[in-house]
Amino acid sequence: MSKPAPLSGFPEWLPAERLVELEVLDTVRRVFELHGFSSLETRAVEPLEQLLRKGEIDKEVYVVRRLHSSDDDTDSLALHFDLTVPFARYVLQNAGHLEFPFRRYQIQKAWRGERPQEGRFREFTQADIDIVGRDTLAFHHEVEVALVMAEVFRALPCPPAVILVNNRKLAEGFFLGLGATDAGAALRAIDKIDKIGPAAVAELLQSDAGLSAEAAQKCLALASIRTEDTSFVEQVRALGVEHPLLDEGLEQLAAVVGTAYERMPGALVADLKIARGLDYYTGTVYETQLVGYESFGSVCSGGRYDALASDGRTTYPGVGISLGVSRLMGVLVGRGLVSASRSVPTCVLVAVNDEDGRAASEGVAAALRARGISTEVAPKADKFGKQIRYADRRGIPFVWFLDDAGGSVKDIRSGEQVAADPALWTPPEEDLRPRVRLTTTEENHP
């Protein structure tokens, strides 16, 4: 085999980069579990017709079939393109075995046949939380999931993140209060502000949503409102639009932003242009920007849906938010913001004096491992200089030498060497595992 080439859109990481990804995944999992979310995985494939029900993305689906396929049931399968559709199916399938409200997290790969570009992959990892009720789901969960993700971002080695929040009822109520004939069309128009600019959006609001030129300007004014606290309410009221749905949306968004402002100031911002146009949300909606890296797009999005799933008799409302781990990696590693202190988990390399003495070196390694210290034994009884270089090239901080008196351990960074007992010696806490840290200046982090 000649040297294989990478596949565009299917990212793979080198060992030190993978350590960054593991740090992200471990942090995400730890925070999710602290909040009582249960881990789930769903199979990679769904029946093709289930995936195509969300018609918008049918061009992007990867179909899966056996090479020598027959009239087998797996002939109409496709790889899932998100974790929400499979989870909705899982809830319907297993509802009798689940306790509602059901809180789950799901960290898995998904696949889309999109044209790859910076921050957009064909294979990517997502980390989702959802809370799903049976028939009803309390509003306070719409506050909760955003705060869980805000806690994730505070715990991650990453640039500051701002979760932008809006509410579908607020936007739709505002459009209806202005006399819009098609509130959905207005929402989709607003969703395009960053792409086509306000003038073109104003045109669309008139042509597609049945609004007057003056009303379209009010919509643009609404979309320009962005506040860290609940002062957005007054700014919206000042636009003079009235509608019961607008009242409800304002109240809900104020509850989300007000609670967040108390508990984690700066983490959430009311941003009234957030629309998530193509999705089926019915209440709070979320997007997330990494400050300084807004061009990568939202790294964490979601919202409230009144019918995540329904079997005709029972409806399951939900609220969920999904962290784009691969997109985040595209920033952290792709832009060189974060790095690992070494490329291996190993803390100690035990040197080998000669091949006959390998068992003694293995004995030292076993004693260290028994106390949770990641240890390798040198692969070859080379000269010690060469064994030290083996450690150095991998970033392993300590080399252990056996001698007649017992042993000694050398910090190969400082050169300091001390006598040590493998049953007692412990490395400094910061050397026990690879550390993953922001390599940018501290000022870049809140």
Map the footprint of a copy of itself across residues 375-434, applying CB under 8 A. 375-376, 379-380, 390, 393-394
User: Shortest gap between Cβ of 200 and a copy of itself (angstroms)?
Assistant: 29
**How many binding residues for a copy of itself (CB under 8 A)?**
95
Token output for 151: 């806690």
Q: Does 6 bind a copy of itself (CB under 8 A)?
A: yes
Site for a copy of itself in 246-265 (CB under 8 A): 259, 262-263
Stretch in the footprint of a copy of itself (CB under 8 A) among 11-19, 204-212, 266-274, 414-422: 11-19
Token output for 409: 């351990």
> What pairs with residue 38 in β-bridges?
104
User: Shortest gap between Cβ of 278 and a copy of itself (angstroms)?
Assistant: 18
- Nearer of residues 343 and 444 to a copy of itself, judged by Cβ: 343
Residue type, 416: E
Q: Which of 192, 243, 369, 435 binds a copy of itself (CB under 8 A)?
A: 369
| String marking each residue 316-345 x if it binds a copy of itself according to CB under 8 A | ---------------------------xxx
User: Shortest gap between Cβ of 53 and a copy of itself (angstroms)?
Assistant: 8
CB 369 within 8 A of CB 333: no
User: Shortest gap between Cβ of 249 and a copy of itself (angstroms)?
Assistant: 20
Q: Does 242 bind a copy of itself (CB under 8 A)?
A: no
| String marking each residue 58-97 x if it binds a copy of itself according to CB under 8 A | xxxxxxxxxxx----xx--xxx---------xx-xxx--x
Measure the CA–CA gap between 84 and 38, rounded to whole angstroms: 15
Q: Which of 109, 120, 154, 243 binds a copy of itself (CB under 8 A)?
A: 109
CB 396 within 8 A of CB 427: no
Measure the CA–CA gap between 307 and 364, rounded to whole angstroms: 59
Token output for 395: 């970033």
- Nearer of residues 98 and 193 to a copy of itself, judged by Cβ: 98
3-state secondary structure 334-381: CCCCEEECCCCCCCEEECCCCHHHHHHHHHHHHHHHHCCCCEEECCCC
CB 185 within 8 A of CB 208: yes
CB 112 within 8 A of CB 57: yes
| String marking each residue 129-168 x if it binds a copy of itself according to CB under 8 A | ---------x-xx---------------------------
- Residue 324 belongs to what H/E stretch? strand 315-324
Instruction: Please state, as a whole number, how many other Cβ atoms lie within 10 Å of the Cβ of residue 179.
Output: 12
SS3 of residue 101 by DSSP: coil
Stretch in the footprint of a copy of itself (CB under 8 A) among 101-109, 156-164, 243-251, 416-424: 101-109
Q: Does 244 bind a copy of itself (CB under 8 A)?
A: no
